[in-house]
Structure 1
Amino acid sequence: MLQTPSQADIVAALEIPVDFNFQLPDPEDEEIKEYDFQEQLDVVWKVCERFDLQTDIWRGRVLRAVRDREKQGGEGRGAGFLNWLKNREITKSQAYALIQLANSADTLLAEGNLDPDSINNFSKRAFVETAKSAPEVQRMVSEAAQSGDRITRREVKQLSDEWTAMSSELLPDEVKEKATEGGLPPRHLAPLVREMEKLPDSHLQEIQREVAESPDVDTVKALTSTSRNLSKYLDSAAQVQTLRRASIDMEMALEEALRLDCLSTASDLVKQATNLEQTVGKLYTTWKRLGNLADRLYVDTGASNPHLRSLLTCLDSLTNETIEVQLDDGGERTIRLKVITEGDT
């Protein structure tokens, strides 16, 4: 249900200038110093961002009200909501992005993690990024905004990286101490933490040992890459049915890949195997559907419909057990796939 806006919300929205007849500096005026030129443009840009953010929040609230109203008394199929969007030339994805922004704003305000008076200190992207962050980060960002600081997406990401790195139990104390001293930027540690969070405990000890022995940027970057490839390897290997049916020790294969420094290649291998199995499954489903449609059309037509029959004849190369597809217009490269199914009932 759409919440009634508070008096503070209304006042904050009305405080935004509605006169956009800005006096921009003349780019050809050589008497204006570069610093002053950039500063004047930045002031105008910030006003536009403030207006854009507040407007989109309210547009999201309006769209949410339209959607919820239909849920309450409409047919439940969303036709009225979609028509409302169509009349205003708003796509469905744009609408739900605005609704998400409004939900984030209301959540931040309701939980007390954001002062309504400080919203105008945010850029739009910074506000969205804050809404996605952990509650601890939201509080830090809100405190900075309330103190009058200009909050951009860059500041939010920096605070988020610092919190992720320093609060994680996965990083050894040696690494955190190095970060506290300023010798290891959190922006490098945060990606490592996020990749380590995806790994089972059995694969963390070696990574933790290496980063504790060499707490430097190069080691952190290398281990981040290793952790990412390791996570991809484990996830993909678990999805490949061909591997699940075989008696292959995937852990030993992983150790060998690590020893030979070819984990990235092994990871890509099992990932592509997953993609191929999924593609084959989709191909079979599409092939069956195409064949059923062709059979139905054949029954519904007769010799008096030669053009439809010609259409069916032309598609025989796709509906037969041997699928034939030309990869180029000249027909120089042709792929033939034979579909042999077992276990069909």
Structure 2
Amino acid sequence: MTSSVVPDPPALQLDLPDPDRDDISTMEFLARLEQAWAVCDRFDLQTEIWRGRILKSVRDREKRGGEGRGAGFLQWLREREISKTRAYGLIQLAESAETMFSEGVLEESSVNQFSKRAFMETAQAAPEVQLMISEAANEGQDITRKQVRRLTDEFTAATSPLLPEEIRQRTQENLLPPRAVAPLVRELAKLPEPQQEDLRRVLRDEPELDRIKDVTSTARWITKATESGVAVRAFQQGELDLEKAMQEAQRLDALGLLADAVGQAQALEAAVLKLHTSWRRLGGLQERLWVESGSSTPYLRDVLNALQSLSGATLRVSLGELAGGKNVRLQLVEESPDQLEPPPLA
């Protein structure tokens, strides 16, 4: 039986400026700290890639098993207090690094040119962007997250098929800033094709910066209203056409208001469902305590009497001093679905 001895790794040493020194300007002081921070960032990146490789090895080993396959991998994560989300994120990072290394896009030693976030952004970028970033890193240039995002925005704004040709061409001619066009592409990608085409038609007629910002906001509001509308249970009680309602709101230049209203409706319903769950749980706990208590526990009975304002059919809650000391009274009545009627409109 053989055992391997792992040598102690070299300690990371950084030369930090003395904050008590008066002969160092603030600009130089911050610059030196920024350099030290960048070293830590790059050290973190290499560590994360190796952690991903380790986790991938553990997972792949488990795939060879039979019954209970994967249990050992999950146990390995639990022992080291690593969530599955983080584990698979690290594995994805390691696999992205291996892909760029194996395809010759990036030299392995060039990883030192990246900050951790810059590398992760590059790993998620389009292949063309990866190639441009990797060439710069192979030449010894330091790569930051801001640079990767800027290049990604430029590439997206100039090439995305979701944009009309007029917008792409004006972006390539530097007549439109990529930082304004790229968010438009991201919002258009969330919409179905018919809505995309409606917005592209608007952009063809007026391929200007202000119109791009307006269409981006419109697309964002449509997505928000649609996603929230699916979750609002009040909309499931009748035959509602939310899409046509959004079109009408858009004609009134009130699409943003509708999106906010639907979002608030979703939040309110979620709050009511949570309130109902807590109310029933509190009622059950109070009832059990009431049965267990008696004349020998007067203080406990006082507490239970105070809780009656929250566990009964009518809830009374103080809004506090910021609301002028007002109270809110809510009546909770559980009804079957066929008894539920919409409240009358004022």
What range describes the TM-score normalised by the shorter chain of this pair? 0.7 to 0.9
Do the aligned partners of residues 73 and 235 (structure 1) sit closer, same or farther apart at CA in structure 2, a change above 3 Å counting? closer
Distance in 2 (CA, whole Å) between partners of 1:26 and 1:315 is: 57
In structure 2, do the counterparts of structure 1 residues 310 and 75 end up closer, same or farther at CA, with 3 Å as the change threshold?
A: farther
- Equivalent residue in structure 2 for 1:21, among 11, 15, 21: 15
CA contact (8 A) 2:49 2:94 kept: no
Structure 1 position 136, deviation (Å):
4.5
Partner SS, residue 112 of structure 1: helix
Matched, 1:342 2:335: yes
d(CA) in 2 for partners of 1:308 and 1:235?
A: 47
Distance 1:276 1:39 in 2: 48
Task: State the secondary structure of the residue aligned to 1:215.
Answer: coil
Superimposed CA distance per residue, residues 89-121 of structure 1 (whole angstroms, 9 cap, x where no aligned partner): xxx68x965x56643441122223543211100
Q: Does 1:269 align with 2:268?
A: no
- For the 8 Å contact 1:236–1:274, the answer to whether it is kept is yes
8 Å CA contact 2:113, 2:143 repeated in 1: yes
- Alignment correspondent of 2:79: 80
2:286 aligned residue: 294
| Percent identical | 41
1:292-337 C-alpha deviation (Å, 9 max, x unpaired):
1112222333332222222211100111000111111698311111
User: Structure 1 residue 251: deviation in Å?
Assistant: 3.1
Residue matched to 1:7:
none
Question: d(CA) in 1 for partners of 2:258 and 2:108?
Answer: 51
Deviation at 1:128, TM superposition (A): 2.7
User: What one-letter code is carried by the residue in structure 1 that aligns with 2:144?
Assistant: T
Name 1:322's counterpart in structure 2: 314
Alpha-carbon contact 1:325-1:336 (below 8 Å) kept: yes
1:106 pairs with 80, 94, 105, which one? Answer: 94
Question: For residues 39-74 of structure 1, what are the alpha-carbon distances to aligned partners after superposition, in whole Å with 9 as ceiling and x for unaligned?
Answer: 7666555434333433455567678899999x7559
Distance in 2 of aligned mates of 1:307 and 1:137: 69
The match for 2:65 is: none
Displacement of 1:224: 0.6
**Aligned pairs (5 A) from 1:171-190:** 171-190=163-182
Match for 1:111: what amino acid?
Answer: T
Give the equivalent residue in structure 1 for 2:326. 333
Alpha-carbon distance in 2 for matches of 1:267, 1:74? 43
Question: How many pairs align?
Answer: 316
2:320 counterpart SS class:
coil
Equivalent position amino acid for 2:331 in 1: K
Match of 1:238 in 2: 230
Q: Which one-letter code corresponds to 2:173 in the other structure?
A: E
Aligned to 1:88: none
Higher mean Cα deviation, 304-313 or 267-276? 304-313
CA distance in 1, matches of 2:20, 2:284: 68
Q: Does 1:131 align with 2:123?
A: yes
Q: Under a length normalisation based on structure 2, what TM-score does the superposition of the two structures give?
A: 0.77
Q: Which amino acid aligns with 1:257?
A: A
Shift in CA distance, 143/104, structure 1 to aligned 2, threshold 3 Å: farther
Q: Secondary structure at the match of 1:336?
A: strand
Taking the aligned partners of 1:39 and 1:297, their CA distance within structure 2 comes to: 63
Mapping 1:223-262, distance limit 5 Å = 223-262=215-254
Residues 144-170 of structure 1: per-residue CA shift (max 9 Å, x gap): 222222110111101221333334221
**Aligned AA (1:259):** R
- In 2: Cα distance, 1:222 partner to 1:26 partner: 51
Is the alpha carbon distance of 1:260 and 1:186 closer, same or farther for their aligned partners in structure 2, counting shifts above 3 Å?
same
Preserved contact between residue 156 and residue 182 of structure 2 (Cα < 8 Å): yes
* Residue 196 (structure 1) shift: 0.9
Quick check: 1:240–1:277 contact (8 Å CA) kept in 2? yes
1:253-276 CA-partner distances (Å, limit 9, x unpaired): 222211111111111111111111
Unaligned runs of 5+ in 2: 1-8, 63-69, 338-346
Aligned-pair CA distance for 1:244: 2.5
Question: What is the match of residue 270 of structure 2?
Answer: 278
What amino acid maps onto 2:100 in structure 1? Answer: G
User: What is the DSSP-based 3-state SS (H/G/I as helix, E as strand, rest coil) of the residue aligned with 2:100?
Assistant: coil
1:249 alignment partner AA: D
- Rate the CA distance shift 1:52–1:343 in 2: closer, same or farther, 3 A: same
More moved, 142-151 vs 131-140? 131-140
Amino acid at match of 2:15: N
SS in 1 for 2:315: strand
Give the Cα separation in 1 of the matches to 2:11 and 2:304.
Answer: 65
> What is the TM-score with the length of structure 1 in the denominator?
0.77
Q: Is the 8 A contact 1:172 1:212 kept in 2?
A: yes
Structure-1 residue corresponding to 2:213: 221
Q: What is the aligned partner in structure 2 of residue 144 from structure 1?
A: 136
